[in-house]
Amino acid sequence: MKKRVVKNIDWSVLICTIFLLGIGLFAIYSANLNTNEDEFTKQIIWIVISIPFMIACILIDYDTIAKLSPIGYGLMILALVGVLFTPPISGATSWFTLGTFSIQPSEFAKVITIVFVAMVISRMKQKGGEREMNRITRMLLLFLIIGVPLSLIVKQPDLGTAIAFITAFVLMLFTGGLNKWYIITGIILIVVAVPLLYFFVLPDHAKTRIDVFLNPDLDPRGAGYNLTQSKLAIGSGELFGMGYLKGNQTQLGFLYPKSTDFIFSVIGEELGFLVAAAIIILYVILITKAITISKTAKDDLGSLIAIGIAGIFIFHMTENIGMTIGLLPITGVPLPFVSYGGSSLLSNLIMIALLMNISGRRQKSIFL
């Protein structure tokens, strides 16, 4: 059985990931060249740590993983509550600090919540099809499941990760067979809620980021400084880049934080448009493969997990690259596999392993 699963895995998912990891390591090394940080070594350590987790998530049937998700969900809620009592870092209480390493529970919450929601929806559909899932009480249950970790993450505050949750959840509802009236109602609520959130809910720093996005010249030396430097870096890279380790904005310290939020700017400046475009192509291939795996999964559970993972990658890629070139507001969302970050890297590699798990158990494996 294990040989059949391994033979049927869509290995292109892993190949795209390896290329992105390689580019990320080159960029992180450059970003840390003139600093006292050793993020390059830490990133390699996290890659090594991730390998046994990936192997386990590939070999253990995802149905078994889903059955364990309620326990993971409960532990995750406890971690998200506990992290609120930690000292703030850059204005957010999002990390547990362990020596020189930091753990961000919200990153792992994405994976656990996707699997748990997928299990709940699939069981609803097994019981009564799409009609069962679309019952008001069932929809309220699903919104409660996503709402608890979402509210705790917003409290940190980490709005970028919260939006990633919402993106994955919406795609999972569509895939599960959401009734069109819920869709219409949701659109109306969004139209009404957006201005209310802006004026009465969003903190001042979030409003400032939106204002700067709408008017980049509003505060070029303050709130708009990072965006200005990012656009200068990417623009100066032109087609072939200024040369590895030779970027002005990168090496002179104008980009910040250059190894996480603005890693794409480092790549654009030093390696140029061709490499930056190659990264986007790799992400498009990866996301397309995730959607294909969702469509060919052997059951609703696998389909829902895969589309939820695709939603996470879609949002992170679009938001991170979009914010570095001024097309979207800055939210501090990392670029998967490329940005520095242990928790983000581990959770993203676990999601890749789950995609490989689901693809290895697709229906066509029966005929192999």
Using CA atoms, how far residue 324 sits from 215, 226, 228, 262, 340, in Å, is: 15, 9, 9, 6, 16
Rounded CA-CA distance 192/202 in Å is 15
Q: List, for residues 34-66, the tens digit of each pLDDT value.
A: 887 789 999 999 999 999 999 999 999 999 999
Model pLDDT, residue 368: 34
**Range of 116's domain?**
2-367
Rounded CA-CA distance 186/184 in Å is 5
Q: In the chain, what's the furthest Cα-to-Cα distance?
A: 62
Based on the structure, what is the number of domains in the chain? 1
- For the record, the structure tokens of 257 come out as 């934080």
Using CA atoms, how far residue 137 sits from 175, 301, 323, in Å, is: 19, 21, 38
Rounded CA-CA distance 72/194 in Å is 32
Model pLDDT, residue 200: 67
| Among 236, 205, 247, residue whose Cα is nearest residue 222 | 205
Rounded CA-CA distance 217/120 in Å is 47
Query: DSSP secondary-structure letter at 101?
Result: E
Residue 28 has φ and ψ, to the nearest 5°, of: -65, -40
Question: Is 90 exceeded by the pLDDT of residue 70?
Answer: yes
Q: List, for residues 217-252, the tens digit of each pLDDT value.
A: 666 676 778 888 999 999 999 999 999 999 999 898
State the Rg of the chain over Cα: 21
